[in-house]
Amino acid sequence: MQAQHWPAVRAIYQAGIDTGHATFESRAPDSFGQWLAGHVPELCLVAVDAGTPAGWAALAGVSSRCVYAGVGEVSVYVAPSCQRRGAGRRLLMALIAQSEERGYWTLQAGIFPENRASTALHQALGFEVLGLRRRLGRMSFGPLAGQWRDVLLLERRSQRAGID
């Protein structure tokens, strides 16, 4: 992902936010630098279709403590017009492969239970549901404003890391 992708990436992110079933965030950051500060820059990927970003996937660290250096949280967003065409799968597969090459041994994802497509995608690529985090946060915008939301916690362990 490069700075020139940011307007399209931001629009895709905002479209996901607007569904009310993608994140607790109420709006996408204004600048690429602001967004990138919360992610691992070399593990921010864009899928391009006919010259236009169709989706993105990114990894964020879960902690600054050195013992968690190989644990990351994944995000995958696909433009509404490009959904159900394999972009999300290709992005997540690439993110898994590239994160393993960089020494990540655990990937996790937090997904609203209502987002069945995202849950199915992650499970198809080796993530397992560890549990349901009940009333993890409260929505601050849209038709669900004020409602507490549950979040599924999914995890994928790298087979390359040698964890038994």
The residues with which 108 forms a beta bridge, in sequence order, are 73, 155
Superfamily of domain 3-157: Gcn5-related N-acetyltransferase (GNAT) (3.40.630.30)
pTM for this entry: 0.94
- For the sheet with 106-111, list strands across it: 44-49, 52-61, 71-78, 106-111, 148-157, 128-138
d(CA 118, CA 109): 10
Nearest Cα to 44, choosing from 56, 55, 61, 53? 56
- Which residues are within 8 A (CB) of 41 and not within 5 positions of it... i.e. 6 or more apart? none
Cα 68 to Cα 64, 65, 109, 119, distances in angstroms: 7, 6, 15, 24
Structure tokens at 70: 């190989």
pLDDT tens per residue across all 164 residues of the chain:
999 999 999 999 999 999 999 999 999 999 999 999 999 999 999 999 888 999 999 999 999 898 898 999 999 999 999 999 999 999 999 999 999 999 999 999 999 999 999 999 999 999 999 999 999 999 999 889 999 999 999 999 998 766 65
Label the pairing between strands 71-78 and 52-61.
Answer: antiparallel
